[in-house]
Structures are given as structure tokens and as C-alpha cells.
Chain A
Amino acid sequence: MRSVLYVEDNEYNRKIVRQLLSRTSYRLREAADGEAALGMVREERPDLILMDVQLPKMSGLDVTRALRADPATADVPIIVVTSFALSGDDQRAMAAGASAYIAKPYSPRELLALIQTFLAER
């Protein structure tokens, strides 16, 4: 069973993805901050990570960089959820090592399509 890790501090946004993926076969794990995310990835390597940028304790971009620096997790696909209005966020995300980015607010339909694209490739 494919596993997806969603790193997001807002409960309602986590709930959207939880309910979005409840109809699929993907197993969702959730982390509310950057440090917890790192711990969970080390505990069990996910098949895809959805990473918000602004997180407590450690930013999504820093977590992405840390994962890319570790050979064990360097090739895990990471979709970074950026804020469109902050120009350059997408470029920073790609520079930090993101596999793709999606601007917030996202359409659940489009997000699901993106997730499926990544997981189907494997």
C-alpha cells in the first residue's frame, strides 16, 4: 500500500487531504510540524510527501533540504505547497529540492490528480 505523508499545521487542511485520500487506496500519515515530519520519515520512508512551507519549529523548505541531504530519503518525491502571492516561493521550493509545487489555495481535485501522477509513476 502506497503511503503519503502530509506535513501541515492547520487541522482543517489536514482534514481535506484526509477525506480526499479516504476514497483512495493510499495510506495517509500526518505531521503538524517540521521536526515531527523528519522523525516520521526516518521511522518509515513514505512514497510521497506533501509539504507545506510555513511550519512551526522548522520550515517546509528546511525539511526538504534535510531530506535531500540524507541518502536514505534523497529520492522521495516531495510536493511543496506554496503561497502564490509571495513571489519566488516556487523557485525557492524547487531550489530546496522539491519535485513539484502547488500553490495554495489548491483545488482538491487538482491536488489529487498531482498525487496520483506521482504515485502512478512508481
Chain B
Amino acid sequence: MKRSALAAGDDTAGPDGLNRVVAFLLTRTPLGALVDWVARVPASVHTKLLAAFLVITLLFITMTGVSLETIQRTALQSRKMHAAHERVEWSQHVDHTLARQMHFTALALLLRDEASVARILRENNRFNDALARLEAVGTSQERELIQQIRGRQDGVMDAVADIANAIRDGRLDEARAELLNRQERGYQEIEALVARLVQVENSQMLALKQAVETANFRSIILTACFAALAIVLALLCGFIISWSCLLPLRRADEFLGAVAAGDFTATIAVPNRDEFGAQAERMNRMSRELGRLHEEQQQTATALRQLNARLEQASRAKSEFLANMSHELRTPMNAILGFTEMLRDGLYGDVPEDLKEPLDDIQTNGRHLLGLINDVLDLAKIEAGRMDLALEEYAVQDVVDSVRVSLRSLAVERGLEFESRVSPRLPIAYGDARRIRQCLMNLAGNALKFTRQGRVDITVEQQGEELIYRVVDTGIGIPKDELEKVFDEFRQVDAAVTREFGGTGLGLSITKRFIEMHGGRIGVESEPGRGSTFWFAVPLRVAVTA
């Protein structure tokens, strides 16, 4: 999983050097295990980042502490150095005043005056003073030496006093002997002690110097180590935490890619027990849910396909039934109407006068029944979607003439003027001429039926790419609130009208369907008592797909 996630990363980021290095670090070194371990830590990414920053911050605080301590120690050492310098200075001063003391003693012996003796005493005071200062700052070992020097100094001072007295008294030989025997020896002893003191101080200073150098070196090393450790730790934390986040992201990317490609069996497995772990769990739930929905959808689609197939079969059965019914209904109608007509035409001999009317009634009602059958079958075919237009080129004038010829006898019978006006030079139209004729027949037939006196006119004109057919009558008209309903099935303004004028109530509905199949529009304007204008507009040339 880890390798494949990295491989996916390589695909998206390109096979650059950095990616190869990261892949190597994660798969061939313990870093991979560390990343895995950090991912498994049950804490939020926020907490992990905070912990890492805290560790690094603590390291820097420690480093700062160590540096401060080093600075303090260095300051102490330099103070000590300063003191040591002072001591060395004072010890050299002691040495110097001792030399001057001896010098002035020798000078007093030569000059034999009081001023020289006083100089000895003054130098002696300076010596004592320097010794006291050295003692104040000296170490215990030095103080011991200083005590010894003091002891000798007291002896020397006695000798000096004796020498001074001898010089004052003029006992020069005695003084010289004193000088040589007592003072010279005392001085030599003191000189040796002072030399030792100077040596001790020097050696102490040297040791101190070395200690300071060592300490400085150590503190530099320590600081460098801490700095290096902090950098390495920061890099390590950054690498581990970032990859413990990046790996699940890459796996999520891979997973989402699979899901997007339609693989709902894909799952995502990450070791993380943080936000990424929770997210992976949610993504798995999503995948399962999607898979379930997909399966459901598939099943539904299959069921729908089967249902659709069954419906198609049922629809075919219905169409076949309609075709059969059409034949079955028409065959007896043919016989009824045929025999009636032959009877009425006197084929079987002369028809008695009182039988003529019932025979006409049979014929009228038989034709009405046939019209009903035709309308019902047409509408059923349209509803079943099995009605196809037979598109062909036709002349509008022919259609109008045919309607006028068919209805002329009805117009005469009802005593109405019946005219038609077709715009001259109309181009040849394209559509289902027989259905257009049927529509115009329905409108004109209705107009003739619903008009008691006056006239019915058919007009056709071209408007743009449309043919507008109009049937204008001077009939009873239609109330405004009924206008919208006239094209609904089995709709006539009222039952009394039906009784008076006949009609199936299907004609307008079928007409509307045929006009719509042509991609046209149908409408009516009417004023009760004044008359109605039914019109329809069809494309001059019907689109073949319509």
C-alpha cells in the first residue's frame, strides 16, 4: 500500500529526483517505520505538530540555558584571571620592594646617612603593604608562604634595625658583618620565598588560562552539538509528520480516482488514527454507500428495462388489437350500411313510402356510428403513439376543394352559404394532406352543424413559413369560459347542443392532435350569437422529424 501510494505520487508529481529520494527514505530506511508509528499515534495532527514544535522549542531553551551558563562561567574565569593577574603583579611588587630594600641597605652602608636609613624603612613599609595586599587576595597556599615571608621579614627587620643603629653609631664593620650574616641571609630566604610565591602565582595563572580555554572549547562544541541536534530533530519531525499526512492524502487521491472511475469496491486503508484515519473511514463508508446505490440503481434500471419491454409488448398488443378492431368493427358496418343503401336504392324492389324514413334513419345512425368508430380508433392510435403522418407534397387548393365538395350537400341541406378563398400563387405545401383535409373537414363540418343561418367560409393564406387555415361561421358562438375547453375530448358546449347538432365530441380533439403532430398551432375566437372563427397554422413545409 505504501509503495503503491508512492507510485501514485510519482505519477502525479513526475519522476523527479526529490520524489525518488523521498521514496527511498520511506521504503529503505527506518524513517518509513517512524512515519507509520507517528500515523498510528491516536492524536490529532494538530496535537502532533504541537508536540513536535514543543520538543524543538525545549531543545532551543536548553541550548540557551547552556549558553548562558557558559557565559557565566567564562565571566567567573575571567574574574579569576583578573585576580591572578593582580596577585602576580603584587608578588612581583613584593619581589621588587625587597630588591629595593636590599639596595637601599647597601646604599646606607656606603653613605652612612639618616636619609638612606629612612629609605630602607620606607621600602620596608612598601614591602609590608604589598605583602598585605597579596595576602588579602591570595589563596591559602600563598597565605602560608606569606606567613613564612613575614616571619623572615621580622628577622630581617631586626637585622635592618641593628644595621641602622650600627651605622648611626659608626660601627660600620659590625654593620657590614650584620648585613652579610643576618640581613643578607634573611633577604636571600625571603627572595627564595617570594620567588616561590611568584612561581606559584604564575603556574596558577597558567592552569587557569588552560582551564578557561578548555571550558570555552567545550562550550563551543556543546552549543554546536545542540544546534545540530535541533536542526536534525526539526527536519526529522517535519519529514515524519508531513509524510504521515501526505501518505494518507495520496492514498485518498488514489482511492477517489478509483471511485470517480466507477470502482465502488475500492477501499482505502491508512494506519492513521488521526483526522486522516477518520476521513479514510468516512470515505470507505461513502464508497460502500455509493456501491450500494449503484447496485440499487442497476437493479432499478434492469427492472425498468424489463418493465419497458413489457410495456412495449403491451403497446404492440394494443396496436394490433386496434388494427384488428378496426377491421372487425368495419366489416359488419360495411354490411349494415351496404344492405341499407341497396334496400334504399330499390335493389330488392320498390321501397314502400313508410319504410323510406326508417331506412334513412338506419343509414344516418350507421354513418354516425362509423364516424364514432373512426374517431375513437384515431384517438386511440394517437394516444398509443402509433399514429404516423404520411408526409407528401400537396396543393392547398386541392385539399380545400375536396372539403368543399364533400360538405356542399350539407351546406345546401342547412341553407347556408359555403365559400372558400385560397390565396393565389400559394407554393406547393409539404405535410400529411389527408390529415390536413380531415382537420379542415372537422372544423368546416362543425361550423355547418352549429350555424342556423348565414354563412361558413374557408380561407387559407400564407404568413411567413406558415399556412393559416381559417373557418369563419355566423353560428351560435361559444361562451368565453368554454373557449379553452373546446379542444378537450368529448367536450361540447352543452348536451342540448349535442342532441340538436350531433357529433362525437372527438373531432376537435383529434384535429388539435394532428395539427400538433405537424408542429402547428390551433385556436378559436368566438362571440356568442355572432359566430366563431376556428383556425390552425401549420408549417408550409413540415420538418421530416416532426
Contacts and interface: CB of A to CB of B under 8 A. Distances in A.
Interface stretch (B282-290, B336-344, B417-425): B336-344
A104 B330 contact: yes
Contacts of A84: 374
A109 B345 contact: yes
B342 A108 contact: yes
A105 B338 contact: yes
A99 B150 CA distance: 166
Contacts of B388: 87-88
B335 A85 contact: no
B79 interface: no
A35 B164 CA distance: 182
Nearest to A111: B338
A27 B388 CA distance: 40
Interface string A82-111: 011111100100000000000011111100
A9 B164 CA distance: 184
A3 interface: no
B122 interface: no
Interface in A23-82: 23, 54
B341 A108 contact: yes
Contacts of A86: 323, 326
A84 B390 CA distance: 13
A107 B334 CA distance: 8
A85 B338 CA distance: 18
Given A87-B388, A87-B390, A16 B374 contact: no
A10 B338 CA distance: 13
A85 B342 contact: no
Nearest to B366: A105
A13 B387 contact: no
Interface string A1-13: 0000000001011
Interface string B325-358: 0110011111101110110010110000000000
A13 B335 contact: yes
Interface in B302-335: 323, 326-327, 330-335
Interface string B347-380: 1100000000000000000000010011001100
A54 B330 CA distance: 12
B326 A19 contact: no
A23 B347 contact: yes
Contact of A12 (B335, B374, B387): B335
Interface string B433-459: 011000000000000000000000000
A108 B326 CA distance: 20
Given A19-B342, A20-B342, A83-B327, A105 B337 contact: yes
Nearest to A106: B334
A12 B333 CA distance: 10
Contacts of A105: 330, 333-334, 337-338, 370
A83 B390 contact: no
- Which of A105, A108, A109 has the most C-beta atoms of chain B within 10 angstroms of its own C-beta? A105
A92 to B, nearest CB: 11
A107 B366 CA distance: 12
B402 to A, nearest CB: 14
Contacts of B435: 87
Contacts of A91: 390
A84 B327 CA distance: 10
Contact of A10 (B335, B347, B373): B335
A106 B338 CA distance: 7
A12 B61 CA distance: 119
Nearest to B337: A105
A88 B332 contact: no
A30 to B, nearest CB: 15
B385 to A, nearest CB: 13
A82 B378 CA distance: 16
A12 B377 contact: no
Nearest to B328: A54
A13 B347 contact: no
B94 to A, nearest CB: 145
A105 to B, nearest CB: 4
Contacts of B342: 16, 19-20, 108
B347 A83 contact: no
Contacts of A87: 387-388, 390, 434-435
Contacts of A16: 334-335, 338-339, 342
Contacts of B335: 10, 12-13, 15-16
B347 A19 contact: yes
Nearest to B335: A12
Contact of A85 (B334, B339, B348, B378): B378
A10 B331 contact: yes
Nearest to A103: B330
B293 to A, nearest CB: 46
A22 to B, nearest CB: 9
A60 B337 CA distance: 23
A99 B330 CA distance: 23
- Which of A15, A84, A87, A109 has the most C-beta atoms of chain B within 10 angstroms of its own C-beta? A87
A109 B381 CA distance: 31
The 3 closest A-B pairs by CB, nearest first: A105-B334, A12-B335, A16-B338
Given A12-B335, A19-B347, A83-B327, 14 more contacts: A10-B331, A13-B335, A16-B338, A16-B342, A20-B347, A85-B326, A85-B374, A87-B387, A87-B390, A91-B390, A105-B330, A105-B370, A106-B338, A109-B341
Interface of B: 323, 326-327, 330-335, 337-339, 341-342, 345, 347-348, 370, 373-374, 377-378, 381, 387-388, 390, 434-435
15 contacts: A13-B331, A16-B338, A20-B347, A83-B330, A85-B326, A85-B330, A85-B373, A87-B434, A87-B435, A104-B331, A105-B334, A105-B337, A105-B370, A108-B341, A109-B341
